[in-house]
Amino acid sequence: MRRLWTDFIMSQPNFFDSGSPYLQHPLLTKERTTTEIDFILSQLALSEGARILDVGCGFGRHSIELARRGFAVTGIDPSAAMIAAAREWARETAVSATFQQIPAEQFSTAVPFDAAICLFTTLGQISAVDDNRDLLHTVYRALKPGGQIVVEVLQRETAVAQLKPSDKFGSGERYTAVARQYDPNTSIVSEEFLVVTPEQNQTFLLRYRLFSFPELSSLLTEAGFAITNVFGDYAGTPLAANSPIMLATGRK
């Protein structure tokens, strides 16, 4: 049975492949990105020109905003489509940022970073092999002594309580239909995106693991980080049982 499921996963276009609905995600607005970066920088208090690693950078929305503010940013992502989109967006906006297509677990650097960010369900992404919890060890090695990390993940209890089995974005001949499932035995959410256009229909699959705060805390401390703060949103609200996300900062 596991072999059949693995074969099915490997046969499905990944959510971050070419044509992905992630590139037109209706919730990832410029205003949201600005709010997130404003709060992150208020917590990190980095010097001008500091080196920042954006782990799971996607199409570069955080990397480009950080570079626009004068930081030396490297964005890494395993998806060729996402890295291509990030490089194109950087060119269009005349922003200087470095992007590298590589799984975070395989990344290394000769010049350590001052800080790293790992946001928007990057931690816990599921491939046909396993999830990517080990990436925190890689990030730890990539940072200077005293280097800082910011990690954002959904809080499992709230995410499960608020999980919508289906969703739809757009209308008419162009829309994206989403079907979601949660497996309580593995804490894995599976989301299937059907992208409908007049030209073609495409299906994309996204799977990621949800964490409780004790689990997130354990992952960070096992990687070597000392947790410095935990919030429940980008307004700086303390983490509570009903917080939608867990936003943790740590130091090497």
SS3 188: strand
143 in the same domain as 237? yes
124 in the same domain as 8? yes
178 in the same domain as 123? no
169 in the same domain as 49? no
164 in the same domain as 108? no
Closest CA to 238 of 219, 220, 216, 213: 213
169 in the same domain as 44? no
168 in the same domain as 75? no
Q: What is the pLDDT along the chain (252 residues), one digit of tens a residue?
A: 444 334 444 445 565 656 666 666 666 788 999 999 999 999 999 999 999 999 999 999 999 999 999 999 999 999 898 999 999 999 999 999 999 999 998 999 999 999 999 998 899 998 756 778 889 999 999 999 999 999 999 999 999 999 999 999 888 998 989 999 999 999 999 999 898 989 989 888 889 999 999 999 999 999 999 999 999 999 999 999 999 999 999 999
199 in the same domain as 75? no
170 in the same domain as 77? no
Domains contained in the chain, number: 2
Q: Supply the DSSP symbol for 228.
A: E
Domain that holds residue 180: 160-204
Look at phi and psi of residue 163 and say left if phi exceeds 0, alpha if psi is from -120 to 50, else beta: beta
106 in the same domain as 50? yes
166 in the same domain as 87? no
By CB neighbour count within 10 A (0-12 exposed, 13-18 middle, 19+ buried), where does 35 fall? middle
Tokens of 12: 């499905």
Residues facing 181 on adjacent strands? 190
CATH number at residue 41: 3.40.50.150
182, 163 Cβ separation under 8 angstroms: yes
| Spatial separation of the C-alpha atoms in residues 136 and 125, rounded to whole Å | 13
